[in-house]
Amino acid sequence: MNRVRRLLGVYARLGRIYRHWAPTLLGLATLVFIPLGFVDALLEQVDTSSLNVTSGFEAFAFLGALAAITASSLFGEVFFSGAIAASLTHPEDLERPGFLHLARHISYGKLIAVDLLFVLMLIFGFLALVVPGILVFVYLSLAGPVVELEKRGVWDGFGRSFRLVRGHFWMVAAVLVPIEIVGDAINESLVGLAHHLLGHGLLAAWVGESVGNIVTAPVASVAIVLLTLDLIRHHDGEAPRLKRRPEAISSPGAA
pLDDT band at 253 (very low <50, low <70, confident <90, very high): very low
Instruction: Report CA 68 to chain centroid distance, whole Å.
Output: 16
Per the CB < 8 A criterion, the answer to whether 85 and 148 are in contact is yes
pLDDT given for residue 100 in this prediction:
58
pLDDT in tens, 208-219: 888 888 888 889
pLDDT given for residue 252 in this prediction:
38
Q: Which spans in the chain are helix H?
A: 2-44, 56-72, 77-89, 99-103, 108-127, 130-140, 143-150, 154-165, 169-198, 202-236
Per the CB < 8 A criterion, the answer to whether 221 and 81 are in contact is yes
Q: Would you kindly state where each structural domain of the chain is located, as residue ranges?
A: 2-236
Rounded CA separation 129/127 (Å) = 5
pLDDT given for residue 142 in this prediction:
92
pLDDT cut 90: percent of the chain above it: 14
Of 89-103, 165-179, 227-241, which range is least confident?
89-103
Rounded CA separation 93/78 (Å) = 25
pTM of the model: 0.76
- Please state the rounded mean pLDDT for residues 171-186: 91
Per the CB < 8 A criterion, the answer to whether 187 and 162 are in contact is no
3-state secondary structure of 166: coil
**What are the angstrom distances between the C-alpha of 119 and each of 47, 77, 78, 96, 114?**
20, 10, 9, 30, 9
pLDDT given for residue 255 in this prediction:
38
